[in-house]
Amino acid sequence: MRKEEKARILEELGDLSEEIYDELVGEFIEMVKVKVLEMKRLMGEGNFTELSKHAHFVKGASLNLRIPVLHEIARNIEIASKMETAREKVPAYMEELEMKMQELCDSSCISSE
């Protein structure tokens, strides 16, 4: 995450310090890693009801932390999971979510570049 992006986010969030934000993002990354594994399992089982609930969690948490790319992908997973005619899109969305999560992990979302 670029320094300007983080400054904008911290301004939006108000009194939250950069240190606290970085800690929250780190905890978010760890939680979402677990959620993604669970979502993949649910997808394999065809349990789209539970899958949509996990996607909803990721969507909300990423929105709260101002990580729009993950919010949008999780939103797509949630919607597709609820629509029988769109469920064939879920595997591609899951792959995209994993890729973007890896990018977030690689950058630790706290880079000041």
The predicted-structure confidence for 16-34, as pLDDT tens digits, reads as follows 888 998 899 989 999 999 9
**pLDDT on residue 113:** 38
CA distance 18 to 24: 10
**pLDDT on residue 108:** 59
pLDDT at 110 exceeding the cut of 50: no
Q: List CB contacts of 11: < 8 A, sequence separation 6 or more.
A: none
pLDDT at 10 exceeding the cut of 70: yes
Tens digits of residue pLDDT in 67-98: 999 999 999 999 999 999 899 999 999 999 99
Q: Does domain 3-107 have CATH number 1.20.120?
A: yes
Mean pLDDT of 3-15: 84
Tens digits of residue pLDDT in 41-63: 999 999 999 999 999 999 999 99
**pLDDT on residue 13:** 87
- 64 in Cβ contact with 24 (< 8 Å): no
In angstroms, what CA-CA distances link 65 with 8, 18, 40, 83, 92? 12, 12, 23, 27, 24
